[in-house]
Structure 1
Amino acid sequence: MSSTPLARAIALAALGASIAVPSLAQAEFLKDSKVSLSLRNFYYDNDNRDPYTGSAPTTPDGYDQREWAQAFRADYISGFTEGTVGFGLDVQGLLALHLDGGKGHHPDSNSFIPSDSDRSAVGAWNRMGATAKARFSKSELRYGNTLMPSLPVIQSNDSRVLPQAYEGGMVTSKEIDNVVFSAGQLSHVISRASSNYTSLSVSGGTRGSNQFRFAGADWKVNKELTLQYYYANLENYYDQHFAGLTHVYPISDNQSFKTDLRYFKSGDDGKNGQSGYFFSNNGGYAKNANEVDNTTWSAMFTYSLGGHALMLGHQRVSDDGGFVWLNQGSVTGASGGNEGNGGSDFYLFTNAMVNQFARAGEQSTFGQYSYDFAKVGIPGLKASIAYISGDNIKDDPTRTTDGVGGDHKEWERDERIDYVFQEGALKGFGVTLRHGTYRGYTGAANADTDQTRLIFNYTLQLM
């Protein structure tokens, strides 16, 4: 089990505070507290169809990754003490057990189960953390190492056995009606397949940064229209501006048309491109090697009718370099061991199950059809199928296998079905089955892959 000095300090401070506050404040602190235990059983099958292509393993071990794990997550979410400023504390403990993987089906570096010193899968990995919080009026400050932000410039990932989490501080304010302000500074991250916190980086970066700052706002102009602006900076790597617009036009009681526009402008910062502060440009072309220089925009339109939803969209990545987002690069953990892939999400529609479609010059067209079976009397059952096609991908000039330049293409098809039991002894028990098929060009950063995930989720509310 790994608990950082920050977590221990927060726990001791909270203990001291609970002794000092009046009994009434303690009562409010406890009265609004919640305790839950979440269980996740996860089977992961990644079938590399072309194991010698791109970043796929080049030794027999790990051609086809098949692994199975069970996770336990305990959360204590406190209330706030009474007074002008209310204080609280959230504590989280996580444990994951490797159930099976099969000999030869565990790549040394992966995002599902961490590797031991002999390159086999570890039997178990765990962590414990805490976040202190304070509330004043309609503003809330959080500081700790269990932060899971979901903002346009930073997206925490929860698509494996354990969730990704960040260490640092965040402020959320709703003092102005219809406007939500968010700001913060993060210093470390723990990946989905790790027990150790690491510095922050980007894909390809071999040196860490301990300063990621962000600020922005969501303005709900009216019932139908929301505008967004955010700024982010990862020291010595990149600056990023984001602007977004979401509009939902209600056609009738059971029909609507949604427009979602997103624009990112990213540039280099500080030592980017020097002394290991590299950016891999997602395995693609860069006008200036190892540097961030990108503009990406996307537009998505969704027509909904009853339980049906049809989404179509388009995305363009500029020619000078790939889209950039916060990740862990090649930075090793505190123990120096293999920490696998950080696996951060990013706020684009092409953040698909297998691939990202975010290389320099890439133009992607995508669509999805989904259906909510509650409309035909089966609440809790949902299904979807999505397809993304990307072309005009600029080549990495260092490649020699397929030449320089060219109009490279790739595509992905994803299917998903979810069911959550609505009543009875299994009420709240969820089942998710996902399948993704990716095919790219010779020399692509990703190998041709067929991927299957079977996930069971259940949360017990203990208090």
Structure 2
Amino acid sequence: MDKTLSLLGWSVSALLMTLSTSASADFLADSSATLGLRNFYFNNDYRDQPGGGGQSKTEEWGQGFMLKYSSGFTEGTVGFGVDALGLLGITLDSGGGRHLGSSMIPNDGEGAVDQWARLGLTAKMRFAKTEARYGSVSPKLPILQTNDGRLLPQTFEGAMLTSNDIDNLTINAGRLEHATGRGSSDRTALAVGGGSQASNEFLFAGADYKIGKGVTLQYYVANLEDYYTQNFVGVQHLWTLGESQSFKTDLRYFDSRSSGANGNAAGRSEGYRVGGYSHDSTGEIDNRTWSALFTYSLGGHAVTAGYQSVSSGSNFVQLNQGSLADKGSGGSSIYLFTDRILASFNRAGERTWFGQYAYDFSALGVPGLTASMVYLKGDNIQTTAGSSQSEWERDLSLDYVIQSGTLKGLGVGLRSGEFHSQADANQDQTRIIVSYNLALF
């Protein structure tokens, strides 16, 4: 552990010393650094999972450190800067047959590693209100959601451009080549769930356009080389009904079709295929998914209802490297309302109804305390073993962030999920997360 900490510290220190000799005042004056601490307990109970080899659960506990540095930009028409991200994970408890199936801590061939780390550097450039980045990036876009659901976050490598030069319009574009999973120190190429062949190029572009105060229109297109092309259209509307009262509508539509090697039998036979059910068991990506969410908020209360429909050609897809050789590269997020603690409800043919109730206790004079409960029911699932299967999930979340005093900003979160499915193993999952961000400068 000491060697890893020293390596991270030396790398960041060397970077700062190099920059300080040549950077302008704005470059240094606008820089910032934070140290994020995350303590994570994870328990996934799957007693009835077929072929479990007698293991009844995955249970682990770890401590994560996330050191983030962000510089300002040099003076001039075109400004330059750099960001750095140092990540360190330490295993506090694992082993005893409880590491198998882990999605949080890397495996060294014999079990959970004691510690793991990685360093990400990002060069950045700014012109007017347009910013370009190259290096380690963490997209949060409809066509790609960086996963941060375990001890350390997933990261990607490539180039991204974001422009806000036109009022009310945000344009995003980029090209990604590699990913590093949340439970790994090693980068991999890119793929989809079930794909055993790697792709080295993910291209995307799109825009968010605000109309007036309450409406946002979105369009994005993405292509994962030799796997799929995906188009996304979204509409969001917030209707303010009065003081502390609103109604939100969020509509989303995805069109995903095969591209390159996935579009022909020869390519699919080599491993450029999607997992799960597909039409005629070809492994070809062919999916249309649409969903609608409606949320009514009054004071601290928020009631949500929604529906999602996945077409039956194949499962819904976005980047997921879990089928590649490095098992630590698994774990992904997708831009669906149904992407929850245990399941994503994105199987071929699946139709899902869901409802959620959330409460912000600041309305009762307890700021920082929030709670929510969600229930999802999916049916008409198409699988290789049969059709019209169903599943449901119930999740509870409770979060509290201390608002003042010495421990201001310290957060404690509880996640509890129960999942029953005819298409997968029944599971119960519990997560306890304690987090704190310390501003260094």
TM-score (norm 2): 0.94
How far apart, CA to CA, are the structure 2 residues paired with 1:394 and 1:210? 30
> Secondary structure of 2:345's match?
coil
> Which residue does the alignment assign to 2:26?
28
- CA 1:257–1:84 in structure 2 vs 1: closer, same or farther (change >3 Å)? same
Secondary structure of the residue that 1:340 maps to in structure 2? helix
- Pairwise CA distance, 1:83: 0.5
The reply on whether 1:275 has 2:265 as its aligned counterpart is: no
Map Cα deviations across residues 276-298 of structure 1 (whole Å, 9 max, x no partner): 11110xx3343452110000000
Give the one of 139, 148, 152 matched to 1:149.
139
Count of matched residue pairs: 429
1:210-229 deviation digits (Å, cap 9, x = unpaired): 10000000000110100000
The equivalent residue for 1:191 is 181
Correspondence 1:182 to 2:179: no
Measure the CA separation in 1 of the matches of 2:158 and 2:95: 38
Is this contact kept in 2: 1:181–1:218, CA < 8 A?
Answer: yes
Superposition map of 1:207-226 within 5 A: 207-226=197-216
SS of the residue corresponding to residue 39 of structure 1 reads strand
Return the letter of the residue paired with 2:356.
Q
Q: Offset of 1:15 from its aligned partner?
A: 7.6
Matched with 2:232 is 242
Q: Which runs of 5+ in 2 are unaligned?
A: 5-9, 263-267
Q: Residue 180 and residue 321 in structure 1: after superposition, are their counterparts in 2 closer, same or farther (change >3 A)? A: same
Alignment of 1:88-99 (within 5 A): 88-99=81-92
2:350 and 2:382 in contact (8 A); partners too: yes
SS of residue in 2 equivalent to 1:320: coil
2:415 corresponds to = 434
1:387 and 2:411 correspond: no
Shift, 1:104, TM fit: 1.2
CA contact (8 A) 1:70 1:98 kept: yes
Counterpart for residue 256 of structure 1: 246
Matches within 5 A, 1:434-453: 434-441=415-422, 444=423, 446-453=424-431
Listed as ranges, the matches of 1:4-403 within 5 Å are 19=21, 21=22, 26-52=24-50, 58-60=52-54, 62-107=55-100, 109-118=101-110, 120-145=111-136, 147-272=137-262, 273-280=268-275, 283-287=276-280, 289-332=282-325, 338-340=326-328, 342-396=330-384, 399=385
Q: Secondary structure at the match of 2:49?
A: coil
Counterpart residue identity of residue 404, structure 2: E
Q: Of residues 408, 418, 438 in structure 1, which corresponds to 2:399?
A: 418
Tell me how far apart the structure 1 counterparts of residues 346 and 279 of structure 2 sit (CA, whole Å). Answer: 12
- Matched residue type, 2:304: M
Aligned partners of 2:67 and 2:19: how far apart in 1?
23
Alpha-carbon distance in structure 1 between the residues aligned to 2:202 and 2:73: 28
- Structure 1: distance between partners of 2:18 and 2:434: 39
What letter matches 1:342 in structure 2?
G
Secondary structure in structure 2 of the residue aligned to 1:28: helix
Any unmatched runs of 5+ in structure 1? 3-7, 333-337
Distance 1:35 1:270 in 2: 43
For the 8 Å contact 1:40–1:456, the answer to whether it is kept is: yes
Find the aligned partners of 2:175 and 2:11 in 1 and give their Cα distance.
19
Partner of 1:5: none
**What are the superposed Cα offsets for residues 14-45 of structure 1, whole Å, 9 maximum, x if unpaired?**
987765x5xxx522111111011110000000
- Between the aligned residues of both structures, percent identity stands at 51
Please state how far the C-alpha of 1:10 moved relative to its aligned partner: 12
- Checking the alignment, whether the CA contact within 8 Å between 2:322 and 2:331 is kept in structure 1 is no
Deviation by residue 1:186-243 (Cα, 9 ceiling, x = unmatched) = 0000000000000000001111111000000000011010000000000000000000
